[in-house]
Amino acid sequence: MRAGDSMSEKVKLIYGSHEYSYPVVTGTENEKGVDISSLRKDSGFVTMDYGYLNTGSTKSSITFIDGEKGILRYRGYNIEDLAEKASFPETAWLLIYGELPTDEQLTAFRRLLTENALVHENLQSFFRAMPPSAHPMGILCSIMNAIGLFTPRFYDDENKADAFGLMVASLISKIRTVAAFAYKASIGEPFVYPDAEKSYCANFLNMMFSSKARNYEVDPLLVKALNALLIVHADHEQNCSTSTVRMVGSSHANLYASICAGICALWGPLHGGANQAALETLLQIQQSGIPLRDVMERAKDKKDSFKLSGFGHRVYKSYDPRAKVLKNLMQELFNHSHFSDPLLDIAFELEQLALSDEYFKERNLYPNVDFYSGILYRAMGIPANMLTVMFAIGRLPGWIAHWKEMHDDPSSKINRPRQIYTGPAERAWIPLNNR
Ligand code: ACO
């Protein structure tokens, strides 16, 4: 029996004198689900699961997470190994196509990334039309959608393997150019075009920070850090933005439209936007000198909407393995180079306070991927409002992999949850003069 097949094991549901039974679905790592898809037909009941705390929306062979043990694997490979040994393009290939690329496949993929790094020149007017104060996530989403309009043949050809491969490489390559152009537009500098001689990450840093007015040497330590950052963000199974991509894609909306919906979902401060919020909290602490204990008290106060961004996770109930990778990377970067940052000590101290605090311990609130990523990006010179854009560049291969998995599955259906209606019962129309 294959992982994910329904087993002869059943779960029984008893309501009054009726008994219903539903098949158990077991995953590769022995995680169990109950397939209740026929429950409404059998009994008239729908299941209620606010915020999908306990809903498996699909079977998936892309990413495995064990939130209790702090395990994260892409296609079976541990995140720690990938972050240390793989390149981001290699990881993207692994997520999308299921296996590590051969030498030949990786060379061809890198060539496609290089050849498709430019965005259409007409898009320059889009960047210029945006107000300089526009949030880069808004710009990213608008322009990624617009890019689709410049290559409409992809909408029709996405079922053909070659066209899909080209579309994927084009998206992964162009998102980095769009992000760098959005930044340059926001600071009023001319765009720096992609350089065919540079690797994926070095090219991005060069487009962000070089200019005719100053020399910019891409630092290999920062390239290594950026590569690992993008890898740890590359997928995280059915999170809010990925579920959004799948939801939108389930109506057979094209890949560009589905990705843009994912970018919008990622923007929120409870999801990808938490990295900006976490960094801003550290900056405020540094600038105002507010005692860390006061920050902790605010985070615990139920009357205060403030939360300690970068802590807590829906799935991880122990240390987020991605935060561990980033913490190690950060220590390596700051201990063995000229980089330094006063926020580092504040972050370490805040983490220690949280890990020993009863409120945080009881609720299993540990640092998540967003807690340390901001400090690493700061070392590169990337400003706080670009952090969620960086997350989106990293997450793009995961979104594409999930869209493809759903698209290739002939049994997938349009996603359409049910509800329990709690509004008024039927009532008679009231003419305007009687209201
Ligand atoms: N600071 C203070 N209290 C918190 C925090 C936090 N960061 N996170 C959770 N809590 C508290 C909640 O208030 C709640 O308390 P209660 O049981 O007394 O009501 C309890 O811990 C459980 O939290 P929920 O919000 O119910 O957990 P949920 O799984 O719905 O939310 C989430 C998870 C959104 C990540 C939450 O922990 C949070 O808001 N964290 C801060 C934002 C953040 O860092 N988001 C990034 C997540 S990683 C990612 O998306 C890439």
**Stretch 410-425: mean pLDDT:** 96
Q: Where does the pLDDT of residue 177 fall: very low under 50, low under 70, confident under 90, or very high at 90 and above?
A: very high
Q: How far apart are CA 7 and CA 247, in angstroms?
A: 27
Rank 92-96, 181-185, 367-371 by mean pLDDT and report only the highest: 92-96
Confirm whether 370 is a catalytic residue: yes
Q: How far apart are CA 111 and CA 90, in angstroms?
A: 13
Q: How far apart are CA 96 and CA 98, in angstroms?
A: 6
* pLDDT for the residue 335: 87
For 261-322, the DSSP string reads HHHHHHHSTTTTTHHHHHHHHHHHHHHH---HHHHHHHHH-TTS----TTB--SS-SS--HH
* pLDDT for the residue 257: 94
Q: How far apart are CA 155 and CA 306, in angstroms?
A: 43
Residue 5 DSSP label: S
Q: What residue's CA is closest to ligand 1, atom 36? A: 312
What the block records as the tokens of 354 is 């949280």
Q: Is the pLDDT of residue 3 over 80?
A: no
What the block records as the tokens of 231 is 């890898």
Q: How far apart are CA 136 and CA 180, in angstroms?
A: 10
Q: Is the pLDDT of residue 154 over 80?
A: no
**Stretch 6-12: mean pLDDT:** 83
Mutate to test the pocket of ligand 1, among 53, 267, 270 (most ligand atoms within 8 A of CB): 270
Q: Minimum mean pLDDT among 92-96, 152-156, 189-193, 383-387: which range?
A: 152-156
pTM of the model: 0.94
Q: Where does the pLDDT of residue 133 fall: very low under 50, low under 70, confident under 90, or very high at 90 and above?
A: confident
Per-residue pLDDT of 192-221, as tens digits, reads 999 999 999 999 999 999 998 888 999 999
CA of 247 to the centre of ligand 1 (A): 23
Residue 165 DSSP SS3: helix
**Stretch 260-270: mean pLDDT:** 96
CA of 416 to the centre of ligand 1 (A): 26
Q: Name all residues whose Cβ lies below 6 A of ligand 1.
A: 51, 270-272, 274, 299, 307-314, 363, 365, 368-370
* pLDDT for the residue 2: 63
Domains and their CATH numbers in the chain: 77-269+383-394 (1.10.580.10)
